[in-house]
Amino acid sequence: MASTKTMPSAIARFQPEPVRQRQTSKPGVPVPRPSTKQGRRPKTFKIIDLFCGAGGMSLGFIDARFCGGFECVLAVDNDKAALATHRHNLGGKVVCDNIEDWLKNNPTIPRADVVIGGPPCQGFSLLNKKRAGDHRRALWEPYLDVVQRCGAKLFVMENVSELYRSEELSLIERYAKKRGFKTHAAILNTADYGAPQTRKRTVIVGWRAEEVSEPVFPPPQTHAAPNRETTLPAWRTVRETIGDLGKPIGTNIGTKPPYDLHFGRNPIPTSLARYRAVPPGGNRFDLQKNAPSLTPACWIKKTSGGTDLFGRLWWDRPSVTIRTEFFKPEKGRYLHPSEHRPITHREAARLMGFPDDFVFEGTKTEIARQIGNAVPPALAGALALVVRKVLDPRQPASSARKSTRKVTHLAPPLAT
């Protein structure tokens, strides 16, 4: 059967039996308990996370708040701070190296059931104007080599939406087919899976047809746009995600969540005046209209496009895509909905879907990069549920894990 590409569609959500888990002393690392139903211990499957970053994708697979039933046996990335974050929260062996250099040393790769991860996306991104010839476009090759060498039955690859319409997707599918994998690909909107962010990504799922059945793909949606005629709950909004947080505290990383990452900046008077000139839901064009003397000349000359630049988030919509420089409003729609400031690291982490008990390691800039490059755990969890059903088809459907379930922010806001 030839590889296929399918666009997302609304499908009734699959409800697997939940894996009952408890937290260890490390936040985010669930430990499975025996299942009391039918007297059967739930299986724990092994994953390898390549280009893992901080571990948003691993978190969605491992943590019972998203899916559960998986453990990470190996994580590989060349970002030292991101790997420290991954190891702190998710455990398992980590390797800090470029994947190609690492494979040249013929490493011992542990056996795994699934390989997950997203080869660096900048080679495909619309923000990269010199995409042709970018070596990062081909890093899916060593990714699939690891899939082959570890004996995985499935793989889940995530990348920017532009990959779906590129010639590279056909190359990936052919490369996978030669190694015994059939594939499905689709563009998924993370807001459809419970993330409070309209982040669109290409996801490729591959499976060995001789060993496992075809997965349900795209995963059934859990949320829908508010104007859709459906029984699904509406997309999660900025208000319900960050509205409980008080004013930012200080300008440095703190010690207790959620205010450890809820710090501000020291804007110069000109920047503060610019923030105040942008109304709710406004952007750089409102700045130009309300305060032309404060508007950069390059923006005045550019009369079209860039409607998110210097924009405010909307309270009652999901966030726009969170990127690595979300603390710079000139980079996108990153002004707070009502306060005269950019969003904080904690607000960005929540809008990505990270629980407050997920600990980020590194400097302010390194943490921002980890947040902006992450896979939203809610999307990863939806993919993990599909994968787990394929690996353990005996699991009965259950209504215990409701599609409306969302991550609770574990630390209450400080009094202000």
Tell me the per-residue pLDDT of 344-365, one tens digit each, with 9 for 90 and over: 999 999 999 999 999 999 999 9
Q: Please state the rounded mean pLDDT for residues 213-234.
A: 95
- Model confidence over 72-128: pLDDT tens digits? 999 999 999 999 999 999 999 999 999 999 999 999 999 999 999 999 854 554 444
- Residue 96 appears among annotated catalytic residues: no
Render pLDDT for 290-349 as a digit per residue (tens, 0 to 9): 999 999 988 888 887 778 999 999 999 999 999 999 999 999 999 999 999 999 999 999
Instruction: Give the model's pLDDT for residue 352.
Output: 98
Quote the pLDDT of residue 305: 74
* pLDDT tens digit sequence for 41-84: 678 999 999 999 999 999 999 999 999 999 999 999 999 999 99
Q: Considering the chain, what is the average pLDDT of its residues?
A: 86
Indicate whether 416 pLDDT > 70.
no
SS3 per residue for the chain? CCCCCCCCCCCCCCCECCCCEEECCCCCCEEECCCCHHHCCCCCEEEEEECCCCCHHHHHHHCCCCCCCEEEEEEEECCHHHHHHHHHHHCCEEEECCHHHHHHCCCCCCCCCEEEECCCCCCCCCCCCCCCCCHHHHCHHHHHHHHHHHCCCEEEEEEEHHHHHCHHHHHHHHHHHHCCEEEEEEEEEHHHHCCCECCEEEEEEEEECCCCCCCCCCCCCCCECCCCCCCCCECCCHHHHHCCCCCCCCCCCCCCCCCCCCCCCCCCHHHHHHHHCCCCCCCHHHHHHHCHHHCCHHHHHCCCCCCCCCCECCCCCCECCCCCCCCCHHHCCCECCCCCCECCHHHHHHHHCCCCCCCCCCCHHHHHHHHHHCCCHHHHHHHHHHHHHHHCCCCCECCCCCCCCCCCCCCCCCCC
State the pLDDT at residue 232: 96
Say what the pLDDT of residue 407 is: 58
Q: Which domains does the chain have, with CATH numbers?
A: 21-232+376-391 (3.40.50.150), 238-371 (3.90.120.10)
User: Which pLDDT score, from 0 to 100, does residue 19 have?
Assistant: 35
Please give the pLDDT value at position 409. Answer: 58
Question: What number is the average pLDDT over the span 264-287?
Answer: 96
> Is the pLDDT confidence value at 17 over 50?
no
Reported confidence tier of residue 178, pLDDT bands at 50, 70, 90 = very high
Annotated catalytic residue within 52, 67, 72, 121: 121
